[in-house]
Amino acid sequence: MSIICGTHGLNRRFVMTAGNNDENLPTRRHEEPTVLARTPGTLTTPEQLAEQHQRFLAAATTDNTRRTYRSAIRHFLAWGGVLLCDEAALIRYLLSFAEVLNPRTLALRLTALSQWHRYQGFPDPTASATVGKTLRGIERVNGRPRQKAKALVLEDLERIVVHLNTLDGLATLRDSALLQVGYFGAFRRSELVTLEMQYLE
């Protein structure tokens, strides 16, 4: 069917065929405008939202936890591990330190590696059932609580120092100094053996 339309003196011919309807006509695509999030009294841009998100993510983890995780990652890399890592590498890592590190320390190292992979958007290799079972086995074999040594009391320290002062030689002076520094500074044995003269000057 033909329809003749006049527009400002011009004749235009439109042809419609049987069965034509509005559903068959092309529709114009409308671009949706970017909607910015609004909060009371503010207009937040996508850049501001991203900055705010990063700030909240950083606040979710304490500085101490971040330092602990970084130390764990460095230990894994120093051992020879790489990021990304897989199940096989984690099992070798656990076996390498099963007799050296406390099982709780190993569990913390795995947590740090897990957080790194998840935060970067990668699959978490620590979620492997085999990795988890290996760690549980290490905990059962090597995780038995050790008998704590009895703490040195001040009266005993005084008696020891008095006795050392009656002896001659540099070794006794060294021993007396180490005992007193360790006691009053609450140092571990591993920390005491690393002390050097320059630290006391």
How many CB atoms within 10 Å of residue 143? 16
In this structure, is residue 49 part of a structural domain?
A: no
Confidence band for 8, pLDDT divided at 50, 70 and 90: very low
**Looking at the 3D structure of the chain, how many domains does it have?**
2
Q: Cα–Cα distance between 35 and 28 in angstroms, integer?
A: 21
Same domain, 137 and 160: no
Same domain, 67 and 121: yes
The tokens describing 130, both together, are 């085999």
In this structure, is residue 113 part of a structural domain?
A: yes
> Where among 118, 142, 166 does a domain terminate?
142
In this structure, is residue 100 part of a structural domain?
A: yes
pLDDT at 41 over 70: no
pLDDT for the residue 93: 96
Mean pLDDT of 54-81: 86
pLDDT at 26 over 60: no
Flag the least confident range among 27-31, 47-51, 93-97, 173-177.
27-31
Same domain, 82 and 126: yes
Output 189 or 148, whichever has higher pLDDT.
189
Q: Cα–Cα distance between 26 and 14 in angstroms, integer?
A: 16
In this structure, is residue 47 part of a structural domain?
A: no
Q: Please, are residues 97 and 90 in contact by the beta-carbon 8 Å criterion? A: no
Q: Cα–Cα distance between 108 and 116 in angstroms, integer?
A: 13
In this structure, is residue 30 part of a structural domain?
A: no
Query: pTM of the entire structure?
Result: 0.49
In this structure, is residue 174 part of a structural domain?
A: yes
Mean pLDDT of 12-22: 46
The tokens describing 103, both together, are 């099982």
Sign of the Cα pseudo-torsion (151, 153, 159, 163, in order): positive
Q: Cα–Cα distance between 3 and 13 in angstroms, integer?
A: 6
Output 192 or 122, whichever has higher pLDDT.
122
pLDDT for the residue 186: 80
Which domain range does residue 108 map to?
A: 63-142
Q: Please, are residues 103 and 132 in contact by the beta-carbon 8 Å criterion? A: no
Confidence band for 125, pLDDT divided at 50, 70 and 90: very high
The per-residue pLDDT for range 155-199, each reduced to its tens digit, is: 999 999 999 999 988 889 888 988 988 888 887 776 777 777 665
CATH number at residue 75: 1.10.150.130
Output 55 or 98, whichever has higher pLDDT.
98
Same domain, 129 and 167: no
Confidence band for 17, pLDDT divided at 50, 70 and 90: very low
Mean pLDDT of 29-35: 53
In this structure, is residue 72 part of a structural domain?
A: yes
In this structure, is residue 14 part of a structural domain?
A: no
Q: Please, are residues 106 and 135 in contact by the beta-carbon 8 Å criterion? A: yes
pLDDT for the residue 52: 82
Same domain, 82 and 106: yes
